[in-house]
Amino acid sequence: MIETNQKFLIVGLGLLGGSYAKALKKKGYSVYAITRSQSSIDYAKTQGWIDGGSTEEDPELIGQSDYVIFGLYPHIMIEWIARNQPYFKPGAILTDVSGVKCNVVDVIQKNLRNDLEFIGSHPMAGKEVSGVQNSDDTMFQNANFIITPTEKNTEPGIAFAKELAQVLGFPNITSLSIEQHDEMIGFVSQLTHAVAVSLMNCNDNAHLKDYTGDSFRDLTRIAKINEELWTELFLLNQKNLVREIDDFIFSLNDLKQKISDGDEQGMKQLFIQSTKRRKYFDA
Amino acid sequence: MIETNQKFLIVGLGLLGGSYAKALKKKGYSVYAITRSQSSIDYAKTQGWIDGGSTEEDPELIGQSDYVIFGLYPHIMIEWIARNQPYFKPGAILTDVSGVKCNVVDVIQKNLRNDLEFIGSHPMAGKEVSGVQNSDDTMFQNANFIITPTEKNTEPGIAFAKELAQVLGFPNITSLSIEQHDEMIGFVSQLTHAVAVSLMNCNDNAHLKDYTGDSFRDLTRIAKINEELWTELFLLNQKNLVREIDDFIFSLNDLKQKISDGDEQGMKQLFIQSTKRRKYFDA
């Protein structure tokens, strides 16, 4: 159980890191931050979201922390943990916010000191804007939180991740293996981003603004995308994502063929099926 | 100019027809309706959206109307107009709400009495629910309205469609040929619906509800689709839609190839391009 006298360290104070800090501070915990930019620390401090912070990888700040939350890109987090491994407090629990778990969680756990624990977690919340200034913990209120334990994790480590999600305000907390997580995320998150990006790119369509309805806007909202982060996430999950794209193209070609053939009954069946399946997601 | 003593007739009192009636009545016009179900007429009358109506194709009601707005499926509208052609008031102006214009507007105009005018129009507003009970004219406030004049149309006919859109509260009114309209709609509306349906159908994904973020929900919202209406709209615009699906699959395959190749720079370029293009649609 998270005790009130225990200390949190957030490494990487962006949109998610800042939203975590805000939510944790509301519940009265001690929260510190290490991040690249002094202005992010100053902003979070002024807002009362952190007790202190540094732009340096400060051994003292690391060493006092019972819980360390990484809001970094996966490869930067892996390097960060390797570099600062000696300074963690014995017994500290580490977690992340990464959108991909294979080649991330397993790599970190393989090289981690025996008296530390890394438990993977994925808050399925975000915005099309970044930076600590856009932090907003209300985005957790309707969102899913996924914990990805492996055989390296302990009951207390898993319990910590679950309690953290509860403290942050996530209503729905589930658990998946890292393999299940990445397969699922290849479909619900990465494929949807690939589709939105390709929809935006398949037509030089700036002049279409006056003619769009809500559907085009909805389907392309996430085509505004952080190219550094998503290139990394896509490549970390290459195999699953490529298979999901293939499955989707197969499905779209099926509909296209029925349109070409003028197969009214076949088209109606596909529409009835999509309508029925979509209804599950409203409930 | 629409005079206050002129009478509107709405044929087909569903979501859009009802919303038109509501908006027109607010401005003080006389509004009547012909629709299949008595309960729709009763509902609209109770709400004060119409002055009267009938479930019959009543020659008297048709003959008194200066403006007739069709909220019917395209093929039903074409048949309705042909069947009731003798009863229209000389000089009456007819318009519609159809999502496809070729093989609709041209067909109607070709067979129309010389003293009548049909001007095509497309209010780009809608909901995932249907029926007069869900009518809501506030959905016009941020929406686009497209007028599709042909060589058969007159200045007064076009001016009527424009004034109607203004009265209904559309902030953005534009004009396209019926060919331009259908090409554009094949992309911004029909392709997006085909994509959403195929995304929902490519994976038997009911169990994924606990793991989805907003992106999947946004991209599949329109996968709840009226199979009768959309089968008709897709087949009316078959050629454009099939070409748009092909272009989209080409674009998605390009991204897929770059993911397969681990082409980081190529992926980033696509993400930067989609981000830049999407920003036009926010302005």
pLDDT computed for residue A24 by the predictor? 97
Q: Interface pTM (ipTM) of the complex?
A: 0.90
Judged against a pLDDT cut of 90, whether residue A126 lies above it is answered with: no
Q: Is residue A130 very low, low, confident or very high in pLDDT (cuts 50, 70, 90)?
A: confident
Instruction: Report the C-alpha gap between B81 and B201 in whole angstroms.
Output: 37
Judged against a pLDDT cut of 90, whether residue A9 lies above it is answered with: yes
CA torsion, ordered B91, B92, B96, B102, to nearest 10 deg: -20
Tell which residue, B185, B277, B199, B198, has the closest CA to residue A200: B277
Tell which residue, B141, B187, B98, B241, has the closest CA to residue A209: B187
Measured between CB atoms, which of A209, A228, A235 is closest to B281?
Answer: A209
Task: Enter the pTM of the model.
Answer: 0.89
CATH architecture designation of domain B7-176: 3-Layer(aba) Sandwich (3.40)
DSSP classification of residue A169: T
Instruction: Report the C-alpha gap between A123 and A140 in whole angstroms.
Output: 8
pLDDT computed for residue B206 by the predictor? 67
Judged against a pLDDT cut of 80, whether residue B213 lies above it is answered with: no
- Identify all chain B residues contacting A178, using CB atoms and an 8 Å cutoff: none
* Mean pLDDT score, B107-133: 93
pLDDT computed for residue B168 by the predictor? 97
- Identify all chain B residues contacting A263, using CB atoms and an 8 Å cutoff: none
DSSP classification of residue B282: T
Tell which residue, B236, B239, B245, has the closest CA to residue B198: B245
Judged against a pLDDT cut of 90, whether residue B259 lies above it is answered with: yes
Angle, CA of A149, A154 and A159, to the nearest 5°: 75
Measured between CB atoms, which of A172, A248, A259 is closest to B199?
Answer: A248
Q: How many residues does chain B have?
A: 283
pLDDT tens column, A68-116: 999 999 999 999 999 999 999 999 999 999 999 999 999 999 999 999 9
CATH code for the domain defined by B181-280: 1.10.3660.10
Percent of chain A, pLDDT > 90?
89
Residues 58-97 of A with CB under 8 A from B: none
Question: Which site among A183, A270, A279, A280 would you substitute to test the B interface, given the most B Cβ atoms closer than 10 Å to its Cβ?
Answer: A270
**Type of residue at A232:** E
Question: SS3 of B93, please?
Answer: strand
Query: Do the Cβ atoms of A172 and B210 come within 8 Å?
Result: yes
Measured between CB atoms, which of A205, A213, A242 is closest to B259?
Answer: A242
pLDDT computed for residue B71 by the predictor? 96
Query: Do the Cβ atoms of B143 and A213 come within 8 Å?
Result: yes
pLDDT tens column, B48-107: 999 999 999 999 999 999 999 999 999 999 999 999 999 999 999 999 999 999 999 999
B151 Cα to chain A: minimum distance (Å): 22
Judged against a pLDDT cut of 90, whether residue B241 lies above it is answered with: yes
DSSP classification of residue B208: G
Q: Is A205 on the interface with B (CB under 8 A)?
A: yes
Q: Is A187 on the interface with B (CB under 8 A)?
A: yes
Instruction: Report the C-alpha gap between A86 and B227 in whole angstroms.
Output: 62
Token pair recorded at residue B97: 């709400």
Percent of chain A, pLDDT > 70?
99
pLDDT computed for residue A142 by the predictor? 87
Instruction: Report the C-alpha gap between B265 and B125 in whole angstroms.
Output: 39
**Type of residue at B61:** L
B275, closest residue in chain A (CA to CA): A224
pLDDT tens column, A227-269: 999 999 999 999 999 999 999 999 999 999 999 999 999 999 9
pLDDT computed for residue A280 by the predictor? 85
pLDDT computed for residue A282 by the predictor? 78
Angle, CA of A15, A44 and A48, to the nearest 5°: 125
Question: Which site among B176, B224, B233 would you substitute to test the A interface, given the most A Cβ atoms closer than 10 Å to its Cβ?
Answer: B224
B242, closest residue in chain A (CA to CA): A256
Where, residue-wise, is CATH 3.40.50.720 in chain A?
7-176
Beginning with the edge strand found earlier in the chain, give each strand of the sheet holding B172-175 in spatial order: B52-54, B30-34, B7-11, B67-70, B93-96, B117-124, B144-148, B172-175
Query: Do the Cβ atoms of B234 and A267 come within 8 Å?
Result: yes
Judged against a pLDDT cut of 80, whether residue B212 lies above it is answered with: no
pLDDT computed for residue B210 by the predictor? 75
pLDDT computed for residue B226 by the predictor? 92
Judged against a pLDDT cut of 80, whether residue A210 lies above it is answered with: no
Instruction: Report the C-alpha gap between A36 and A46 in whole angstroms.
Output: 17
Q: Is A31 on the interface with B (CB under 8 A)?
A: no
Q: Which strand (E) or helix (H) includes residue B145? A: strand B144-148
A254, closest residue in chain B (CA to CA): B198
Token pair recorded at residue A16: 């998610």
Percent of chain B, pLDDT > 90?
89
Tell which residue, A266, A250, A274, has the closest CA to residue A191: A250
Tell whether the torsion through CA atoms of A157, A159, A153 and A111 is positive or negative. Answer: negative
* Mean pLDDT score, A19-30: 96
pLDDT computed for residue A212 by the predictor? 77
List Cα–Cα distances, A13 to A33, A38, A41, A175, A226, in angstroms: 7, 10, 8, 26, 16
Where, residue-wise, is CATH 1.10.3660.10 in chain A?
181-280
DSSP classification of residue B96: E
Q: Is A5 on the interface with B (CB under 8 A)?
A: no
Question: Which site among A197, A241, A250, A258 would you substitute to test the B interface, given the most B Cβ atoms closer than 10 Å to its Cβ?
Answer: A197
Instruction: Report the C-alpha gap between B155 and B203 in whole angstroms.
Output: 51
Q: Is residue B205 very low, low, confident or very high in pLDDT (cuts 50, 70, 90)?
A: low
Question: Which site among A193, A252, A253, A261 would you substitute to test the B interface, given the most B Cβ atoms closer than 10 Å to its Cβ?
Answer: A252
Mean pLDDT of chain B: 95
pLDDT computed for residue A283 by the predictor? 62
Q: Is A217 on the interface with B (CB under 8 A)?
A: yes
Q: Is residue B283 very low, low, confident or very high in pLDDT (cuts 50, 70, 90)?
A: low
Lowest-confidence pick of A209-223, B7-21, B263-277: A209-223
